């Protein structure tokens, strides 16, 4: 077996008993060989949640609010800002939503396809329910009532330089079109903290192209400290989820309406980032 069948028990100390109950309560519709049709593996999910929970609680010490905005049933598109050189923001979002929704909901991201070309990484992402970003995959996930996470800024936003912190890159239109087609609500979020976990100095584009990566980061610690330089600083994350946005179905028939809806979502995310920054200031102030 590729992902060695670990005894999940060895990570039990990382999770309190009630969290193990939540994992065991999470239903994966078995396609016949222990995974769901998308390839989600319950064992890999449990193991990863245990590690992710520890990071969520003790390393990034995530403060989040707005979970009441998630629909109880059915699919939704979760959209927000992306940053931090490595996608720890996506990991913390998934853990946060799994932790605070009842029943627990797994956030499945539309992932850049280059991940699936990398040995082990593609299999890991798939076993955690993270899918290549194709329309058909999005349709399948939403039709089955899953939460689909999209970063409309794209993978390039991960390589955002320090001077562009908390500035949103232009949003792609795909999430609006797909949400309109499936009449799924868009739940925006603003995530504060990831921008500071690694300070991006520059992007070596020729090397990125040669390695078929979206970017090759040079940070204050990488590549100088080798692979250890990619470990993020233990910054606190602040995540705010906004009210669901229902996309005008006319976005399917009009470029102007679609652009307007994209801007509506982008503005909502920008507002939530602003709220997050304010919350962080207050949080730091109260701790002085």
Partner 1 sequence: MTIRGESKIPTLKAAALVNPAETPTPGTLREGPRRVFIAGARRRVAVQLIERLLAAPEVDLVLGVDRGPCPPALLGCDPERFLFASADLSRRRQVDNLFLLDRLRERPLDTVVHLAFQGNPRGYGVESHEFNVNSARHLLDASLRHGISKYIFLSSDAVYKIGPRTDYKVREDGDLNLDHDVHPILRDTIDAEFMCRAKMDRPDCEIIVLRPSGVFGGGVLSGINLLFESTPPVLPVGFDPMINPTSKERLARDLILAIFLHGKGVYNLAGLTAGPLSKFLEERGITAIRVPGPALGVVNRMQRMLGMTRYHAGFHPKRLYYSLVLDDSRFDKIFRTNADKVPALARTPDIA
Positions that interact with partner 1 (CB under 8 A): 1-3, 31-35, 37-39, 41, 113-123, 126, 131-132, 134, 136-137, 140
18 vs 136, which CB is nearer to partner 1? 136
131 vs 265, which CB is nearer to partner 1? 131
By C-alpha distance, which of 268, 127, 280, 106 is closest to 192? 280
1 vs 288, which CB is nearer to partner 1? 1
Give least dist CB 206 to partner 1, A: 22
Give least dist CB 142 to partner 1, A: 12
Give least dist CB 6 to partner 1, A: 15
118 vs 201, which CB is nearer to partner 1? 118
146 vs 240, which CB is nearer to partner 1? 146
By C-alpha distance, which of 214, 196, 194 is closest to 204? 214
Taking the alpha carbons at both ends of the chain, their separation in whole angstroms is 51
The three-point CA angle 8-115-129 to 5° equals 45
By C-alpha distance, which of 156, 98, 152 is closest to 128? 98
Give least dist CB 157 to partner 1, A: 20
Distance CA 187, CA 79 (A): 6
Eight-state DSSP code of residue 69: G
R_g (Cα) of the chain, nearest Å: 19
Give least dist CB 28 to partner 1, A: 12
Cβ atoms of 107 and 151 within 8 Å: the answer is no
């Amino acid at each position: 077996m590729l992902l060695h069948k670990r005894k999940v028990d060895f990570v039990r100390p990382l999770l309190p008993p009630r969290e193990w109950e939540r994992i065991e309560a999470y239903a994966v519709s078995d396609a016949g060989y222990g995974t769901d049709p998308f390839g989600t593996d319950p064992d890999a999910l449990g193991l990863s949640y245990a590690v992710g929970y520890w990071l969520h609680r003790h390393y990034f010490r995530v403060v989040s609010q707005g979970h009441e905005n998630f629909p109880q049933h059915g699919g939704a598109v979760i959209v927000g800002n992306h940053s931090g050189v490595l996608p720890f923001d996506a990991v913390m979002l998934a853990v946060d939503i799994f932790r605070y929704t009842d029943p627990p909901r797994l956030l499945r991201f539309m992932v850049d396809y280059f991940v699936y070309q990398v040995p082990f990484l593609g299999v890991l992402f798939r076993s955690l329910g993270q899918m290549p970003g194709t329309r058909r995959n999005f349709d399948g996930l939403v039709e089955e009532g899953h939460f689909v996470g999209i970063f409309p800024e794209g993978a390039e936003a991960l390589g955002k330089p320090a001077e562009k912190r908390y500035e949103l890159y232009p949003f792609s239109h795909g999430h609006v079109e797909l949400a309109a087609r499936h009449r799924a609500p868009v739940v925006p979020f603003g995530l504060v903290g990831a921008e500071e976990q690694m300070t991006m100095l520059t992007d070596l584009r020729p090397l990125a192209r040669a390695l078929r990566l979206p970017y090759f980061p040079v940070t204050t610690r990488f590549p100088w400290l080798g692979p250890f330089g990619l470990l993020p600083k233990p910054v606190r994350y602040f995540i705010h989820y906004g009210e669901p946005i229902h996309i005008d179905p006319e976005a399917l028939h009009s470029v102007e309406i679609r652009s307007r809806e994209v801007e509506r979502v982008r503005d909502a995310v920008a507002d939530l980032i602003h709220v997050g920054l304010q919350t962080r200031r207050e949080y730091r102030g109260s701790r002085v």
